[in-house]
Structure formats: structure tokens, C-alpha cells
Amino acid sequence: MEILELMRSEIILTTGILLLLIAKVGDAKWSNQTMMTVVNIGLFGLLALGFLTEANGSVFGDMFTTNNLLRLEKNVLTLGTLIISMQAGSWLQKHEHATEFYLLLLTTLLGMFLMLSAGNLLMFYLGLEMSTLPIAALANFDLKKRRSSEAALKMILSSAFASGILLFGISWIYGTTGSISFENLPALLTGSPLQLFAIILLIAGFGFKISAVPFHLWTADVYEGAPMPVTSYLSVVSKGAVLFVFVSVLFKVFGSLSSVWYAVIVTLAIATMLIGNLFALRQQQIKGFLAFSSISQIGFILVAISGGTEQSTTATIFFVIVYLFSNLAAFGVAGLISQATGMENMDDYKGLRQSNPILAWMMALALFSLAGVPPMAGFFGKFFLIMAGAGKGNWLFIIFAALNMIIAMAYYLRLVRLMFMDQTDTPIQKITIPFQPRLALFLCAAGILLTGVFSGAYEYIYSLVR
Amino acid sequence: MNLLLLLLIPALTGLAIGFFPAKQSRLLALTGSGIQFGLCLFLLNNFLQQPDATLSGALLFQNDFVWYRALNIHLHTGIDGISLSMVLLTAFVVLAGVLVSWNIQKMSKEFFILLMLLSAGAYGFFISLDLFAMFFFLEIAVIPKFLLIGIWGSGKKEYSATKLALMLMGASALLFVGLLGLYMNQNGAESFSMIALAANPAPLAVQKFFFPFAFIGFGVFTALFPFHTWVPDGHSSAPTAGSMFLAGISMKLGGYGCLRVATYLMPDAAHYYAPWIILLAAIAILYGAFATMMQTDLKYINAFSSVSHCGFVLLGIGVLTKTGIAGAVIQMVSHGLMTALFFAMIGMVYERTHTRDISKMGGLLKAIPFISTLFVMVALCSLGLPGFSGFVAEMMVFIGAWENTNTLYRIATLAATASIVVTAVYILNAVGKVIMGPVKKESFMQLKDAAWYERSAALLLIAGILLIGLAPFLITNLIEPGTQSIMDKITIITK
Amino acid sequence: MNYLQEILVISTALFFIGIYGLLTRRNIIAILMSVELMLNSVNINFVAFNKYLFPNSLDGIFFTIFIITIAAAEEAIAIAIVINLYRNHNSVDIESTTLLKF
Amino acid sequence: MNYAQYIPLLLVLPLLSFAVLGIWGRKHLKNTSGILGTLVLLLLSIVAVSVAGHYFFVAEKLNDGYQSILALNIPWLTFGYKNLSIDMGLLLDPISAMMLVVITVVSLMVHVFSLGYMKGEERYPTYFAFLSLFTFSMLGLVLSANIFQMYIFWELVGVSSYLLIGFYFTKPTAVAAAKKAFIVTRFADLGFLIGILMLGIQAGTFDFLTLIERLTNPESEAFISMQAAGFLGISAITWALCLVFVGGAGKSAMFPLHIWLPDAMEGPTPVSALIHAATMVVAGVFLVARLFPIFHFNPTALNLVTWTGALSALFAAIIACTQTDIKRVLAYSTMSQIGYMMFALGVSGYGGEAGLGYTASLFHLFTHAFFKSLLFLGAGVIIHAIHSNDVKDMGGLRHALPVTHICFLIACLAIAGVPPLSGFFSKEEILLAAWQDNPAIYAIGLFTAGLTAFYMFRLYFLIFWNKPNTKPIHKEGSLWMKLPLIFLAAVSIVAGFIPFSQLVTSDQKPFWSSFHLLFSIAPLAMVILGIFMAYRLFKTPGEKAAALALRMGRLYQAASHKFYVDEVYLFVTRNIIYKMIGKPAARFDKQIVDGGVNGLGNGTRVFSEKIKGLQNGRIQWYLLVFLGGILLLSIVFIGINKI
Amino acid sequence: METSKIIFYLLGGFILGMALMAVTEKKIFRAAIWLLFTLIGVAGLYFWMSLEFIAAVQIIVYVGGIVVLIIFSVFLTHQAEEDMPKTNIVRKLAAGLSVLLGAAFTIRLFLTNDFSLSPVEFDSEVSRIGEAMLQTGPGGFLLPFEAVSMLLLAAMVGCIVIAIRPDKPDKAEKENNDPLTDRREKNLLNTENNYS
């Protein structure tokens, strides 16, 4: 019964998915609204459960491990999913496939859980695919929109290619070590060129998921085309999950080869920050803008990852939390506006402050947090990221990272400028915010304002990482 | 006394403004900043009663919270005479700023909240003894500035606001590298604590590498040539209170940082880079003055002259003598009060005449005597007339600079001294065109003189200016122990 | 006597042939076919390694089995998307799916 | 009670008066402010005169000499260097005591005169407030115990002068004149300041007495270091003294820093009498006299003083002959007389008889203050009467303005140096001192004396004789305006008999100056010649003057255009400072500094636009980049090392 | 051994040849057939390695499932008989070059790598696989098996939602009628002077 105890969240999640399936197949006559509320309550229960559980250990050989850190990471993902689900309300309400939406969404969440807990490359791969393929389907959920299909197509093709590359890399690792287990691998790694090649392939596979440059090109297109909730899920939850795994795999499994991957990560970080920023600078569309902004954020995370220390892990996890709140706040506002008016261009946000002060300030809060301005949590997040990266003493790199924050600031301020300073005769009309999105926004705001100023979150993560 | 009160009150005021209706905002803001003002005076009183205050440069009222234990980041606060004088300056300017903004109509709630946030940032910055906290508070102040200019400003406000925010952000980025360098290269435990860093400075090579980052980073805030270009645009586009805060407090953050962080924590590098600092400062002083001469917009005049005046701060720091450093501190306080008042007066003039072009005004002394008189007074202060604070500060910097016998320093000092003439030229030109001369428009005679809130703001600031100008020993005695302990650091290292 | 290296050459060649197809074909379905080639090559790798180098465990074999399964799922979703796209757009030419760019 | 305790009153009273009148004057003391200010001044003069009297005749004569007493010394601003500090002190010695009398008496007279002259002005209270401020600053200046304190009051005097010149602030010329006066003197003060910095920091003190003690002692450390250090082959002390003198020359309107003085006549006439004739403009002389022991040790600096003084005296006198604005003539005359005082100091030795020049200079300062302020006040009455400054509008006014006429004549005689009026004695001593030291200077002085007589009587005849051009609009005015004239005329007559060498000497020890009757012949002859020429040319209307002017040709043209100094200044400021420094600086700021930042921003933007092709929407291109990225990374990071 | 070798090379040649045909064939339907042969070739290779179970899975899933799916979709999209549009030659060259480079690089890497062959003979009993698949302990693969089932479930649901759609697409969503696109193009023109 160890399994029941350790895999409690996963089992509940699976049960939930199956219940949804039964409800769909049984043609249950409940409205979308009811179902959403039920799912949200369920997700909240899952989150609460995650905080209440304490058990640590492994089952299925080494295929499934769990401990407090992993549970925290899962909770973060659950929280993200919960917020997105709350925000998705207005989009989903009229959707004829709401049940399937949740079915797929929860499957990806389950996939992420399995991926996080994976003890070997096989489970990792399965989890990764499980958290990717349904999203591709989700991206197509604006069924009658060509943009949506196109996004889904780009997503599935890129991810197929990326998983091909990843598998190719895994096969070489398997070939040179004879093991796929994370536990055994470190001892078997020799650092032969073939292994290094495999690691680079692996990093590329990860890089694709977290959209590091040059593996990022799918990101913006997919974000723009996919429905808003899917985009925010992609950019926050799915990325977060892969980041968690990336950090732990890179440090724990390939830690001994850090001298090799350090250079690779630094290169990726530089390219990612620069390209992300430069492209974000010229975006006209809110989703594309957020896509590139998230790419540049990944660049900063890579700075921390290059450090290769416990601080790096802590900073990364912390930043993912901060980023979750900030980005979801931004997506939440954008989603509300998009739903109410269909406007997704940045120029449409002109004069938003006049008509919708709450939305404008929420967006500003989110943007400032993303830009790394105190007292928002983003400031702390970015500070710690770069601090973690500075441990290596590669100061030119750190200077480059610091300078990139200026460009980042430029485009975040541009949107603030549009919302607050530019005047227009036809601002977006007054939008009423339903209860659930309002609650979600409030959650995000609280997260943005409190996570950094109070050090509890960081300290807690650090205690777990150590 | 717990220094965190200084942060608490603006924060609470901001919150209260948020919860009460917009009509009450200004009253709440006034109450909050009034209480804060009283608190600062109370703090001064308490400070002077401490036996340590006047004897040693010890940091008093220390309060050390562990903020991020894992990273050895603390919220460590404490003050000495230097920081106290900056805190007092902030209290003066904030109170005056709130008074001047009494009649703000547009989004008054947000306006006052941002003002409070900005002031909280400044207070926090000045009382912090931990570099992280300092950086945190420094950055807090950036966005309110951006919004204040962009929303309530005039002219090409968006451009100016963006430029200001980006340049300050760039400065922060450099600064960030400098601070991290200090943190990482600390002997023993990594730490942001200024006390620990000062006790145990980094090796010379490290200092040499990181000093420029820290110094330029802070320098941009205080209009270090050639990174001053945000100053004229930012100041001229900002609303009155915004300009007052920008020039009165915000630029001082940089000067204080240059002194407290760059010079104090990296004394060897400070000596190494001193000629460059002096060169840049002298250029800024003269160049700023000459550039001012060509301006016709009142706010530009004051903004460019701020570049020139802030050059004195850097010069004082750069010469690395006790008098020079004391002069720099006094210049910060003096310039803060003076330029805040100047902007306040310009704002009042602008509100009435709806122009800031000096060639379109004239004879205001006849129409609005109170404002004009104060205008003339602050102008005279700006040109360094004895009796006003500017004179004291400039003279201290000159003497401090002249103490150093190096020829380069002397030439730079001479160049800087020459600015007193150029300053006189542009200031008197402005006064002559705006305040004196024939009354340009009939309508000027109908203008109303200052209302009570404007009067009290102006009198508050001029009182500060006159206090320093007439009794400079008050402030020199206050900061003397602080400068002495900085000097000890600097000289011991070199010997 | 074994042919490990020869098998690896075949698999690698297959992998890159797959990539070539992926990069050059304009019909989306043809691209999906190329993806299958890539995955097959990886399968060959796993099987060969398992058989010749690490016969004690079944990791490689199982990896292959799961890859095949997932490939099927992936293919299914991809084809569903293609069909949807075709309905919306009346084309399966990859060059025409450039609505989203910059 | 020691009388020295009253000295601080000398500063406190006018400051109080300034504050009270300045703050409440406009509203509450609209009409009483004049009386109030005058009463304060009366009190002040009583204190000053009694303090001076006490000092000279009762208290401080010890060992055959006057002692300098420090009535007060409070540290004001201390520096962390060589115990350097700026103190606020009150130093009483013969020259400051003498100046106290001059300042308070003239100021009182001006106050009284202003009661009548300024009546009905809109800013009547402000005017008296400013006068109080000026009196305060000037008294502070002469009582300063250290050089930095002096600099402080020096600036304050400058600003009060600025405020008073610009009193009629709606008149553009007044504003411009005020500005010019301030800026030119500020420019000179720059030199003063640098000089102070050099002196103070090298000597380790700003205090006058210590400074003099250290810098006149060839063994002291300060002296040696200042002699040793140098720049461009000139020792530091010479530089310092010359720079300090530049400050003095600026305030005292010495050539070539004199250009502000004639323009300063835009201010109300009583102000000109007080500031630009009697008190402020002699501050430079006072400064040199104050530091005389140090100057005396430095021939180079002293030579500079001498020649500047002599040139200015001659130069101004020539210009004065050609001007037609009554106040301008007086202004140039002031400049010329101050030139006298200056070169008298320059030719003076130190101690005893050798210090005759020093005594003569200050004697002239003393007498000049009275007759020159008398002249200005008289001019004030005239201007008041006919509402014009130009002598061409005057003429034949002796009947309309009888009291003024007599007083003006007395003053003219005094300034021309006709015995036994005061000017004669002081000028005689100056010429004697020059004769003893340097014949060239003496020659200039002598010639200038003749010119002085000429232009003064030219003025006198043109105003009071000649043909009447305008009918006086006003009468001579109230008693308030006449009383000061009469008083000052009386003083001008008798002041010459004060035994100055008993009171004010270079080493503060009295000596008996001898009076040479024979020596007076040459100057007297020159004076008589001058008066005679003026009489011939200007007593009656005619073409003689114009004809003479024509005959003088270029010289006359140049002189009437003030030798084009203003134009040179204008050229320098407009074309060099504005066009070659100011504008390029502004342009540099706009284009390079500002442009640099904008360029950086735009560059980034343009660059980001250029690379947008990367995101071209083609999935195969994306994957190709993906693959390329992997290959590049692999080849760079594995290939190079391992294969 | 000789026969085995010959068979191996034949198989290898067949696989690569068919694969090349599959990625260069102009007609999509034929390409699908070449793919089918490739997959069968791979299955043959597994047979050659005496891994019958994998070979069987290969044939069942790929040949029986995936290729059929592909052929269906080819018919659904009405492309079977037409020539596929030609690809830009530059693209082909770039792809070809990078692919060649990648292949050469990889091959060079593993040829220099020292693989130590195991002396133990691989036991290819199918029961071994079956047992492992249902074991929960170390060496067992029950968890991935279950996980994959969830994934397949999700994939199925996803496919159903996306592919099965009764109603016709909206006319408004057809190609160049996208309102967002129009505005975006306009904005792109404006970006040059957007910074002021």
C-alpha cells in the first residue's frame, strides 16, 4: 500500500480523468459552469492534499520517486493549473468540448507529475510526451479557427522532431552506459565525446520544451494561435515542469560533466536572452509579446542554471513560482480582454487605465514583476537567478545578462505606456470580471506582492533543495 | 527608535489612500508626510542625544532582520549623521511635494500613492546598511518616477518617462553587477552587509574591476556626465512634485550611493579612479553650466543646472578629502532643498502663466510678488549666494578640492570654480526675463499669488535652505563623525 | 561476430534521412512520415544496444516498445490536426501554414 | 561696559531692519517704513561714530600704535584640514573704524534723502529694506575678521547692489545693468575666490591677522611654501595676491572690469550715491589696504595694483570729459578717483613716513565718499527736478535750484582739489606719495588732476550756467532732500583738516605727514587750467566745445564711445562664449549625448526589425535552425576538443 | 555467417533505399508505400537480430496501424494522385548539407567510441518481456505501461474532438479574411517609426 500513499496525487488525478471520461461518455447533463466549478474544487483539493502529505520514497523500482521538493513542485504546477482553469472560465463556458478540455489538461498534469517523479529516462520520456501531446490537441481547441490549427500543427511537428532528437540522445546515453536509471547513470558517465553529444541532444530536447534559443522558434507562433488558456498553460505550467526536471537531471545526473554543459548553457542563455528580448521589442500582439518575454525569462533562468549549485536550483524553482504568478496575471488580463472584445493587439490596450483601472493595474503589476522591479516578486526572482549564475565568476556573462534587463524593461514599459499614458477616444469598454477570474487575479496579485518581500517561500525551497 | 517606522508610515499612508475615497487622498498624504516629518525631527533629536552621535561615526539605531537567511541577506538599518541628513532632506521635500500637489485633479489617488511609494523607497535607501536592501529600495523608486512623469507630466512625457526609466534601469544593471561583485568576492562568508564589507575590503584587483560598475551605476542617478541625458528630459516633463522628487531626492540616491557604496567599500579603487571621477565631475559642472546657458525653458534651465550642481557632489567625492566629502554631502542636501524649491516655484509660475518659455514671461514680480520673491531667492541660492545653503556646499567642495595639491586636481577645481560665473549668467538671465522686465501680457496682472499650500511648501523649503546657509555648523557637526569614519577608511587603506 | 557498428550506421543514416524528409517535404503528411523514420532509427539503436551490449536487462527493448506506442499516439493526434487544418484551410501544404509569423 | 560689546549691534540692527521691512513692509508698514529705516540708521550711525571715536581717541592707543581688536569670533564652518575654519568675527582696527563712519554717515544721509526722493514709489518699503540689507553687508564687509567672511559679505554687497540697481525692474535697461553689474563683479570674484583658496589653504588660516602674520614672516612655513610653489614661473603668493586683487578691481571698477559701473547708474540716484560712489566701490581699495602688509612684500602684485590704478584714473577721466549723461560722468569720475586711491596704495611703502601713500589713499577714500555722494545727491535733485539725465537738457538751473547749486559747486571744488576743501588735502598727499615713488605715476596723476577739474566744471557749467534747455518740473524738494546736501557739503569742506596720518597708517602707528607748499604748485596749476578751460568752453553756449571735440578727432570719438571696451566684451560674450562654447555644448548635448542614447534605443529596435526574418512562420525553417543549433553547439563544444 | 552477413547488408541497403525513396518521391501515395517498405525492412532487421517480438510489434503497430492511418489521411485530403509541390532548391541544399554534416559527425563519434561487447548472449524469450511488463518491482515496467494507457486515452479523446466535426467551417475564418491578420500587417508597416 506504499503505492497508494506515495502516488496519492497521481491516483486521484487519474481517477478524476476517468470520472470526466465517464461523465462525457455517459452524456452527463451538467452545464460547463458546474463542471468547471467541480474541477476547480477538485484541483484545489489536490493542491491542499499536496500540502498535507508528507511521505517520501520510491515505488516501481526506481520509476517513481517522491519527496517534499517534488511535491512542492507538483503543487506549484497544480496551483498554476488551478489559476488557469479559473481564468479559462469565460472562454470555456461556450465551448462544446469543455469536458474534453479538462480531460486533456489533467492528463498533461498527470504526465508532468510522472515526469517530475521519474526515476529513469523512460518514465521521463513518457511523462514528457504525456504532457506535450495533449497540449497539441488543446492548441487546436478553437476548432473553427485556422490559426488554432496551424498552431497545433506547428506544435506537434516541432515536438515530434524534438522528441526524435531527445530519443536519439537518450539512445546514445543508453548505448554508452547501459543504463537509463538516474540513480545509476552518474557513476557510469565517462565524458566520452559520444556521451557529450548525447547530452547536447538531451539539452536540445529540454531546450525545445522550455523554448531556449535556437530551439524556440515554434513558441511565438504556437502561443499566438492557441487559445489563451492553452497559451498560458504552455508558457507557465508546462515550461515550469520541464524546468524543474531539467535542473534536477542536469545537476544530479550530469553534474559530473558540468564543465562541458556549462559552456553550452551559457551560450544558450546568451542567445535566449538576446533573441527573446529583441523579438519581444517589436511584437504588436499581446500573446506574441508574452511569448517572447517568456523566452527572455528563460534566458535568465538559464543564467542561474549555468551556476550548477543548490542556489541555482532554489533560484530556478523560486523564479518559476514568481513567473507563474506574474505571467498568469498578464495572461489573465489579456484573456479577459480578448474574450470580451476579441482584441489581442497591443495597440488596443491604449487608454486601458481610463476604462478598466483594475485590469490595467493588474497588468502593470504583472509586467513590473516580469521586468524585475521591486517590491514585486520578480525583482527577487531575477536577482537570485543572476546571483546564482554569478557564482562561477564569469562576469562578462553576468554583465551581459544585467544589460539585457534594460531591453526587457523597454518592452514591458511600452505596454505600461500604452495602458496608462496614451490617450485614445475609443478605449476598450468597461469589462465586468466574473468571480473566478477575479479570484484568480487576486491570487496572482497576492503572489506577486508577497512572494518576494517575505522570504518564506525561498527559504522553504532552499531547505528542501538542501 | 526603530528606523523601520520611517518605512511603515509612508506604506500605511499609501494603503490608507488606497482605501479611502479619492477626495481624501491629499489630506491623508499631507497627514502622513506631516507625521513623517515630525518623526524625522524626533529622530534627529534622539540622534543628537546619543553620546555616540557626535563623537564617533558609529551607526546608530541599528536594527538587523535576517531577510533571506540562505543568501545572507539582511534588512539591516541604521543611521549616522550623513544618512540622517539625507533622511531629513527627504522629509522636507516629500512634505513640500505633497503640499505643492494639493490641487492635483487627475487620478489623485494613484498620484499620492506613488508619491508615498517613492518616498518610502528613498527613506529605505538612506537607512539601509545592507546592499541588497539598498538596491531594493533604489529600484522601488524607479517605477513611480516613470509613472509620475508619464501620466501626470507634460510635453513629450512618454519619451522622457521611458528614457528615464531605461537609463535608470541601465544604471541599476551596472550597479547590480558591482554589488554582486562585492558580494561574491568578500573574504569569508558572502555578504551584502556594508559593515562586513567595509571591515574587510576586497583585494585591489577586484575593486578595480567592480568600482566602475558601482560608481557609474550610482553616478547615472546623480547625472554623471555623459550619462546625464535623462535629467533634462525627465525633469522637464515631470509634474511639479515629480520634478521635486526627482531632483530633490532621487538624484541624491545616486550621490549617497557613490559615497557610501562605491567609495567607502572600495577605497583603493576610489583612489585609483579618482582622476577620472574628477575629470568627469569637472566636465559635468562646466558643461552643464554652459548647456544651461542656452536653454529657454525654465525647467530645462533648472534641470541642466542640476547636472552642473550634482557635478559638485561627484567632485567632492572624487577629491577624497574630508572637506570634499562633507561638501558633497552638504551639496546633496542643499541641492535637494534648493532644486525642489526651484521646481516648485517653476511649477507655480507655469500653473499661472501656462508657459515655461522665459522669453514669453516678464515682470512677474509686479503680478505675483510672493512667488517672484521666492523665485529670486532660490535663484540666488542656485548661483551660490552666501546666506543660502548652496554657497556653503560649494565652498566646502572647493576647499576640499583645493586641499589636494595634485596639478590635475587643481586645474579641475579651477574649471569647476569658473562655473560660478556661468551660473550667475544663466540664473540672472532667467530672473531678468521672468521676474523682472516689463510685464509681457496684460493677463499676468490678473494672476493670483500663491495659495496657502504653495506658500507653506515654499516657506518650508526656504527655511531649510536658510538654516543651512546661515548656520552651516549645524549640519557640519551632524555629519562630521560620519565623514571622519569614511575618511579613516580611505586613508588607512592608502597608507 | 556482430554488426553493431554497421547497424548503428544504418540507424544513423535512417535518422538523418528522416530529418531530411522533415526539412524538405511540403506535404504535411509526408513530413509525418519522415518523423516515423526518425523514430524507427532510434528504435533500432535501442534494440541493438540492448541485444549486443547490455543483454542482462530489457531497458532498450521496452524503450522501443513505448516509443512505438507513443509514435502511434503522436501520429494519430498529428493526423487529426492535419485533417482539421485541411477542413479550415483546404490545403496540406506546409508553405501555406505561415499565417502566424514574426 | 566695554564699548566693543556694541559692535555686534552694527550688524544686528540693519539685518533686523531688513527682515522686518522685507517681510512685513509691503503690507503693514507701507508708509512708515522709510522713517523706520532711517531711524535705525540714525541709531546705527550714532553707535558707529561713537565706537569709532572711542576706538581712535579713548581706548586702543597703546605703545604709540592702534591695536586691532577682535570683538567677536564664532566658528561658523570648520574644515577637517589644518584646523582651517571660517569664523564669523568682528575686527576693529583703524581702517574698519574709519569705514564704519563713512558707511553709516553716508548711508544715513542717503536714507534721509530717499525719504523725499523715493516718496510715492510703489516699492517704497522694499527700497528701504534693500538699503538696510546693503548697509548690513557693507558693515559686515569692513568688520570681517577673516578673508572668507569678507568674501561672504563681498557677495552680499554685490547682491544688494544687484537688487538696488534693478529696483526699477520693469525697465529693461535697469535689469540689464543689474545683471551686468553682478556678472562682471562675479567674474572678478572668481579670481578673488581662487586667491582666497590659495592663500587660505597654503597658510592654513583665513584669519586676517594670522594670515598677515604668517605671510609677512619670511621664515614661516606658509611663506616658504608659497614662495616655492609656482605656476608659469610666477610664485604662488604672487598669483594669489594678483587674483585677490582681481576681485578688488572688479568691485572697484578698475580697468578693464569697470564696464558695469556706468550702467549701474540705472538704479535710483540715492543708491548710486551710497553704493556706487561712497561705499561699495571702494571695497577693492579696502581689500588691498587690509592685506597691505602682504602686498607690500610682493612687488609684482603691488606693481599690478599701481598700474591698474593709474591707468584707470587716466582712462576714466578722459571718458568723463566726453559723456553727457550726468550720472555717467559722475560714475567715470568715481572710477578715476578710485584709480587714485589704488595707485596710492601701490606706490606706498610700509611703516611710518614711507606709508604715506597708504594713509593718503584711505584719506582720499574718506573725503571722496562725502563729496562724491554729495555730487550724486545733487544730481538726484537735478534729475528729480527736470526728469532727465542728459546735460543737454539742463542748463541755467542755478536759479531754480539754489541750494543744490551751492552744494554742487562745493563738491566740484572739493573733487577738483581746490584748497582748502577736503579733496585738496587728500589728493595732494597722493601725488606726493607718487612723486616719491614713481615719477611716471606722478605724471599721470597730475594730468588726471587737471582733467578732473575740467570735466567736473564742464558738468557744473553745463548744468547751472549755459543756456536753460528745460523748465524744471519740480522744485528743489522737501527739507529731507536738502538737509543731506547741506550736511555733506559741510563735511566736504572740513574733512580735509582731519589729521589722518595720526589715525590711519600702514603699520597702525601715527606719524606726522609734512605739508609742502611748493609741491602744491604744479597740481594747483593743473586744476586752475582745467577749471579755466571748462569755463571758457562751457560757461556760455557756443560752438567752441564742439569745435574742440572735432579737432580731437579720433581720440574724442573713442573716448565718447568709452574706448569700445563694452563692444569688446560684447564680442567676447556673444561670439566666443555663447557661440563657441555655449551653443556647441548645447548641441553636443542634444546630438551626441542625447543622440547617443536615442541611437542606442533606435539601433536596438532597428536591429530587432532586421532579424525578424528568423521568425518567418515556416516550420521547416524552424526545425532547420533547431538542427543547425545542435550541430553548431556539438561541433564547437565537442568537435574542437575531442576530435 | 556469410549468409547472415549478406542478408544484413541487403536489409540495410533495402531500408536505406526505401527510406530515401520515401522522402524524395513526388507522389504522396507512393511515398507512403515506400515508407511501408522501409518499416517492413526494419522489422526484417529485428528478425535478423532474432528479436521476433519487437519485429511483430513493429509490423502490427506500424504497418497495420500507422501506415494505414497515413494512407487514410492521404485519401481524406484528396492528394493521392497529385504531385506534391516542389521544394525550394536552396532549402533542399541547406537541409541536405546539414543532414550530411550531422550524419558524418554522429558516425565519426560512435566509430571512435569504444563499445565493449557483452559476452552474454541475449535471451530473447517473449515471456521475459511479458513478465517484465507486468512487474512492479525493480526491472518491471508496469508503471509506464499504465501511463501509456492514459496517454493513449488522452490522444484518443483529443483526436475525436479535433478530427470529428459535424459542422462546416465558418466562412469568415477562411484565408485572408482574418481580421487580426489585416491589422497586424498594418502594424508591421508602422513599426519603423514607432519609437519616438
What ipTM did this prediction achieve?
A: 0.91
DSSP assignment, residue E171? G
Residues A397 and A171: their CA atoms lie apart, in Å, by 33
Question: Nearest-CA neighbor of D619 among E96, A230, C101, A133?
Answer: C101
Which residue(s) pair with D69 in the sheet?
D92
Question: For a pLDDT cut of 90, what percent of chain A falls above it?
Answer: 55
Least confident range of B282-291, D497-506, D583-592, E185-194: E185-194
Q: Give the global pTM.
A: 0.91
Name residue B132's amino acid: F
Any idea what the Cα angle at residue D279 is, between residues D402 and D88, rounded to 5°?
150
Residue of D nearest to E99 (CA): D627
Residues D53 and D98: their CA atoms lie apart, in Å, by 9
Gap from A325 CA to chain C (nearest CA, Å):
27
Please report which residue ranges of C25-58 form alpha helices under DSSP H.
28-48
Residue E166, pLDDT score? 57
Residues D115 and A78: their CA atoms lie apart, in Å, by 89
SS3 of D66, please? strand
Name residue D566's amino acid: D
Q: What per-residue string of b and e applies to D207-246 under the rule 16 or more CB within 10 Å gives b? A: bbeebbebbeeeeeebbeebbeeeeeeebbbbbbbbbbbb
Name residue B262's amino acid: A
Q: Chain A residues with CB inside 8 Å of D636's CB?
A: 267
- The residues of chain D scoring below 50 in pLDDT are 1
Residue D597 in contact with partner chain A when CB distance is under 8 A: no
Residue A375: cis peptide before it, omega within 30 degrees of 0: yes
**For A221, which of C15, C88, C101 is closest by C-beta distance?**
C101
Q: Which chains touch A (3 or more CB pairs under 8 A)?
A: B, C, D, E
Which residue(s) pair with A285 in the sheet?
A345
Name residue D422's amino acid: S
* A143 contacts E154? CB cut-off 8 A: no
Alpha carbon B272 to its chain's center:
26
Say which residues have a Cβ less than 8 Å from residue A96's Cβ, sequence separation at least 6: none
Residue D640, pLDDT score? 64
Question: Nearest-CA neighbor of B378 among B70, B96, B87?
Answer: B96
Q: Residues 20-39, chain E: which have Cβ within 8 Å of C? A: 20, 22-23, 28, 31-32, 35, 38-39
Q: Chain A residues with CB inside 8 Å of D643's CB?
A: 193
Q: What per-residue string of b and e applies to A355-364 under the rule 16 or more CB within 10 Å gives b? A: ebbebbbbbb
Q: What is the pLDDT of residues E121-176, one digit of tens each?
A: 887 778 888 888 888 777 788 888 889 999 999 999 999 888 876 555 444 444 44
Residue D612, pLDDT score? 84
SS3 of D89, please? strand
- Look over chain B and give the mean of its residue pLDDT values, rounded to a whole number: 88
Which residue(s) pair with D65 in the sheet?
D62
Residues A308 and C45: their CA atoms lie apart, in Å, by 31
Question: Distances from the Cα of E68 to the Cαs of A161, A274, C33, E21, in angstroms?
Answer: 21, 45, 12, 19
Q: Chain E residues with CB inside 8 Å of D634's CB?
A: 105
- Joined together, the cell numbers standing for residue A134 give 495533449
Residue B386: cis peptide before it, omega within 30 degrees of 0: no
Gap from D580 CA to chain C (nearest CA, Å):
49
Q: Chain D residues with CB inside 8 Å of C94's CB?
A: 618-620
- Number of C-alpha atoms within 13 angstroms, CB side, residue D328? 21
* B480 contacts D159? CB cut-off 8 A: no
Reduce the secondary structure of B406-420 to three states and give it as a string: CHHHHHHHHHHHHHH
* E98 contacts D631? CB cut-off 8 A: yes
Whether residue D287 contacts residue D244, with contact meaning beta carbons closer than 8 Å, is answered with yes
**For E103, which of C16, C55, C83 is closest by C-beta distance?**
C16
Task: Supply the DSSP string of D260-277, one letter for each residue.
Answer: HHHHGGGS-HHHHHIIII
Question: For a pLDDT cut of 70, what percent of chain E falls above it?
Answer: 82
Whether the pLDDT of residue A55 is over 70: the answer is: yes
Angle, nearest 10°, between helix axes D521-538 and D422-437?
Answer: 120
Q: For cell 582696527, name the residue.
A: D93
Residue D29, pLDDT score? 76
Residue B53, pLDDT score? 66
Residue C94 in contact with partner chain E when CB distance is under 8 A: no
**B touches C (3+ CB pairs < 8 Å)?**
no
Residue E176, pLDDT score? 42
Give me the torsion for CA of B101, B105, B107, B110, rounded to 10°. 20
Maximum Cα–Cα distance for chain E, whole Å?
78
Gap from A429 CA to chain D (nearest CA, Å):
31
Residue of B nearest to A404 (CA): B173
Residue B126, pLDDT score? 92
Q: Which chains touch C (3 or more CB pairs under 8 A)?
A: A, D, E
Residue B217, pLDDT score? 92
Residue E19, pLDDT score? 93
Q: Residues 227-246, chain A: which have Cβ within 8 Å of B? A: none
Residue A1, pLDDT score? 67
Gap from B169 CA to chain A (nearest CA, Å):
6
* E150 contacts A14? CB cut-off 8 A: yes
Whether residue B302 contacts residue B343, with contact meaning beta carbons closer than 8 Å, is answered with yes
- Joined together, the cell numbers standing for residue D79 give 574644515
Kindly give the pairing relationship between strand D234-235 and strand D230-231.
Answer: antiparallel
Whether the pLDDT of residue A130 is over 90: the answer is: yes
* E122 contacts C47? CB cut-off 8 A: no
Question: Distances from the Cα of A462 to the Cαs of A69, A316, A456, B69, in angstroms?
Answer: 9, 11, 10, 10
Residue B21: cis peptide before it, omega within 30 degrees of 0: no
SS3 of D234, please? strand
DSSP assignment, residue D69? E
Question: Nearest-CA neighbor of A372 among A407, A424, A418?
Answer: A407
Residue of A nearest to C11 (CA): A168
Name residue A31's amino acid: S
Whether the pLDDT of residue B337 is over 70: the answer is: yes
Residue A157 in contact with partner chain D when CB distance is under 8 A: yes
SS3 of D70, please? strand
Question: Nearest-CA neighbor of A220 among C100, D8, B116, D280?
Answer: C100
Give the mean model confidence (pLDDT) for residues A255-278: 90
Q: What is the pLDDT of residues A132-190, one digit of tens each?
A: 999 999 999 888 888 899 999 999 999 999 999 999 999 999 999 988 899 889 998 88
Residue E64: burial class (beta carbons within 10 Å; 0-12, 13-18, 19+): exposed
Give the mean model confidence (pLDDT) for residues C65-88: 90
Q: Which chains touch B (3 or more CB pairs under 8 A)?
A: A, D
Q: Chain E residues with CB inside 8 Å of C19's CB?
A: 95, 99, 102
Residue D126 in contact with partner chain B when CB distance is under 8 A: no
Residue D326: burial class (beta carbons within 10 Å; 0-12, 13-18, 19+): buried
* E180 contacts A146? CB cut-off 8 A: no
Residue D201 in contact with partner chain B when CB distance is under 8 A: yes
pLDDT-based confidence at A206, cuts 50/70/90? Answer: very high
- Look over chain A and give the mean of its residue pLDDT values, rounded to a whole number: 90
Any idea what the Cα angle at residue E17 is, between residues E16 and E18, rounded to 5°?
95
DSSP assignment, residue B297? B
Residues C17 and D321: their CA atoms lie apart, in Å, by 108
